[in-house]
Each structure stands twice: as structure tokens, then as C-alpha cells.
Amino acid sequence: MTDWKDQLSQLVYSTDSGKVDAEPEPEVIPEGDDIVRIQRQTKGRKGKGVTIITGIGAPETELKAIAKKLKQHCGVGGAVKDYTIELQGDQRQAAKQWLEKQQYRVKLAGG
């Protein structure tokens, strides 16, 4: 029977094989038609409505900064997911006004 000390000395996993020098892939920003679309959505959210903002062609870090300012302007919470900004509740009019002040072309989409 092997001693427990012998079992501890057996190599299970090692990172000594070297550092992988793979360059990170560049961020792929979805292209749009330069129109920011704002829609309200409740599907899959147990009846809770959110405002979805799409079409801002910017890197994710820039989108997070825009989302932060929008959330402060509207006084709500939200998130950035898959190059879209989600704001809690129906914030279409407030978001439209703020985005138009920032020189974006804005359209209200959906019903």
C-alpha cells in the first residue's frame, strides 16, 4: 500500500509547460445603420418591463459608460448585454430625449 505522502507528490496538474502567447481576438462590434432603436420588452421577464436600446456602434467599455449615464438620467438600474443596453422599466421617452441630446438618431421601435 502506498503512503499518503507518496500520493501528494504525484503531479496532478501543472502550468510549467509554458505560457500560451495567444493574442486576444479583437472585439467585433455589430454594425448597424446609425439609428439607435429603443423598444420595451416584457417577454421572458415574468411581466416586468425593460427598455432595450440597440444600434449604438461602440465598444463594450464605451457602452457601459453610456449605460451608466442613462441609468443616472432615468434613475433606474440596468445592464449591458450583447451590445445592447437594458434599463429597468419603461424608460423610452427619457432615454430618447437623452440620446438625442448626445447627437444620436433615435427611433422608437416595437409596439
Q: Would you list the domain boundaries of the chain?
A: 32-108
CB-facing half-sphere around the CA of 62: CA atoms within 13 A: 6
Global pTM exceeds 0.85 = no
Sign of CA dihedral 13, 19, 23, 27: positive
CB-facing half-sphere around the CA of 32: CA atoms within 13 A: 16
User: Which CATH entry fits the domain spanning 32-108: 3.30.70.20, 3.10.20.30, 3.30.780.10, 3.40.50.300?
Assistant: 3.30.780.10
Who's near 56: CB < 8 A, 6+ residues apart? 32, 36, 63, 66, 83, 85, 104
Distance CA 71, CA 110 (A): 21
Distance CA 77, CA 88 (A): 6
E-state strands within 61-104 = 78-81, 84-88
Provide the residue-wise pLDDT of the chain in tens; the chain has 111 residues.
556 666 566 656 666 665 656 677 777 777 777 889 999 988 877 878 899 999 888 888 999 999 999 999 999 999 999 889 999 999 999 999 999 998 889 999 886
